[in-house]
Amino acid sequence: MKPSMLLIALMPVALAGCNQEPAPASVIERPALTMVAGSAATAGGNTYSGEIRARHETQPGFRVGGKIIERLVDTGTRVKAGQALMRLDPGDAGLQLGSAEAQYQLARADAERHRKLHSQGFISQSALDAKEAALKTAAAQAGLARNQSAYTTLHADRAGVVAVILAEAGQVVSAGQPVLRLAQDGAREVAIAIPEAHLANLKVGAAAEITLLAAGENSAPLAGHLRELAPAADPASRTFAARVALTQPGPDVALGMTARVRFMANGKRDGLLIPLTAIFQQGRQAAVWIVAADRTVSLRQVEVAAYRDDGAIISGGLAAGERIVSNGVHRLAAGEKIRVIESDSAQ
């Protein structure tokens, strides 16, 4: 076949191939950082971790120095007022007491003889007064020695629970050195530390919600209020010590439990805290991109209660548990399907 004839035969095949439409390209989903509103890391208000402590705590110590020979309680022991806690070696105190008692007996006998001599006119009144003064001094020394001997046993001044043991048997302690920490019965509080940046938003009396770690995340929070806020920062951590009092602790609140504290404004929840990058500003109205179950996004207006350094507090228009786009909000369009990427701030 001639080349010209072959070319004419192949032309319809080539033209048919040109008329075919190209295969549609697959739709590329735009990746977007998202987060779940109202998760533990994004709930409204600042959350502080602390420890359940007693409202009144004391650190008893011996009123005399010596060597501890016996510890009568353990950590967690419930004690009554007047119960013995620890004992010192009574040897030295016993010797001092014996010496003082002997001096007192001698002074008393000497004073009695001088009284008889004075009644018979053999000594003057001044000589009798000197012996009476010596007797009073010896009596005082004997009483002091008895007290010093009694101080070798440490007693609880109030009922409570032994929170911490600070000294053990065999240890030599000085007078006044704390040997344990006693949590007295009564009110319970949460000891927390407030960062300097959050200090301006808190005042004594502010309402708070307390969640016990042992009770689980789904447990009902306990009510409380900020009772005490330190006027000066800790020089090492640069935080302010604070105490949050529990209104009704309940029997399940044990000393040493870990608790989370979240403060509320005007007795209500602050709202939901979301990153500032999640806000899509429409003029004066703020909005967020809501991610549906099929991964399409839609814009929804929200009410912003406050803007803070760590995010925006949403008071309306957004429910806890809804997934929102947390970054790149100005690159999206309504109805667009995205590839969900979990944001680190939501973890």
Q: What's the pLDDT tens digit per position in 217-230? A: 556 788 899 999 99
Q: Are residues 226 and 277 in the same domain?
A: no
Question: Given a cut of 80, is residue 73 above it in pLDDT?
Answer: yes
Banded pLDDT at 253 (limits 50, 70, 90): confident
Minimum mean pLDDT among 12-26, 45-59, 292-306, 317-331: which range? 12-26
Within a domain: 307: yes
More confident residue, 7 or 334: 334
Q: What's the pLDDT tens digit per position in 174-219? A: 999 999 999 988 889 999 999 888 887 788 998 888 888 887 655 6
The total domain count for the chain is: 4
Structure tokens at 30: 């735009």
Q: Are residues 210 and 107 in the same domain?
A: no
Within a domain: 220: yes
Domain holding 170, by residue range, is: 57-86+152-176
Give the gyration radius of the chain's Cα atoms.
40
Kindly report whether the global pTM for this prediction surpasses the value 0.75: no
The distance of Cα 71 from the centroid of its chain, to the nearest Å, equals 29
Q: Are residues 77 and 164 in the same domain?
A: yes
Residues 6+ apart with CB under 8 A from 111: 128, 131, 132, 134, 135
Within a domain: 208: yes
pLDDT of 199 reads: 83
pLDDT of 23 reads: 43
pLDDT of 196 reads: 87
Q: What's the pLDDT tens digit per position in 99-124? A: 999 999 999 999 999 999 999 989 99
Banded pLDDT at 267 (limits 50, 70, 90): very low
Within a domain: 143: yes
Q: Are residues 209 and 246 in the same domain?
A: yes
Within a domain: 7: no
DSSP state of 142: H
CB of 104 closer than 8 Å to CB of 176? no
Residues 6+ apart with CB under 8 A from 292: 298
Which residue among 232, 263, 294 closes a domain? Answer: 263
127 to each of 4, 119, 176, 214, how far by Cα in Å? Answer: 160, 12, 42, 76
Element (H, E) at 324: strand 323-325
Q: What is the mean pLDDT of the chain?
A: 84
Q: Are residues 141 and 164 in the same domain?
A: no
Angle at 39 between CA 35 and CA 43, to 5 degrees: 110
Within a domain: 25: no
Minimum mean pLDDT among 26-40, 151-165, 179-193: which range? 26-40
Q: Report the alpha-carbon distance of residue 247 to residue 342 in Å, rounded.
A: 38
Q: Are residues 193 and 51 in the same domain?
A: yes
Task: Label residue 1 exposed, middle or buried (CB < 10 Å: 0-12, 13-18, 19+).
Answer: exposed
Q: Are residues 308 and 245 in the same domain?
A: no
Question: Given a cut of 90, is residue 28 above it in pLDDT?
Answer: no
CB of 43 closer than 8 Å to CB of 260? no
- The CATH number of whichever domain residue 133 belongs to comes to 1.10.287.470
Question: Given a cut of 70, is residue 136 above it in pLDDT?
Answer: yes
Q: Are residues 140 and 227 in the same domain?
A: no
Within a domain: 322: yes
Q: Report the alpha-carbon distance of residue 23 to residue 121 in Å, rounded.
A: 140
**β partners of residue 52:** 190
pLDDT of 72 reads: 95
Which residue among 263, 298, 332 closes a domain? Answer: 263
Percent of the chain with pLDDT over 90: 50
Q: Are residues 71 and 107 in the same domain?
A: no
Q: Average pLDDT in the 124-138 region?
A: 93
pLDDT of 230 reads: 93
Minimum mean pLDDT among 8-22, 170-184, 333-347: which range? 8-22
Q: Are residues 298 and 232 in the same domain?
A: no
Q: Are residues 82 and 171 in the same domain?
A: yes
Within a domain: 24: no
Q: Average pLDDT in the 63-71 region?
A: 95
pLDDT of 5 reads: 52
- The CATH number of whichever domain residue 36 belongs to comes to 2.40.420.20
**β partners of residue 61:** 178
Q: Are residues 139 and 112 in the same domain?
A: yes
- The CATH number of whichever domain residue 62 belongs to comes to 2.40.50.100
pLDDT of 40 reads: 43
Percent of the chain with pLDDT over 70: 84
pLDDT of 345 reads: 45
Banded pLDDT at 13 (limits 50, 70, 90): very low
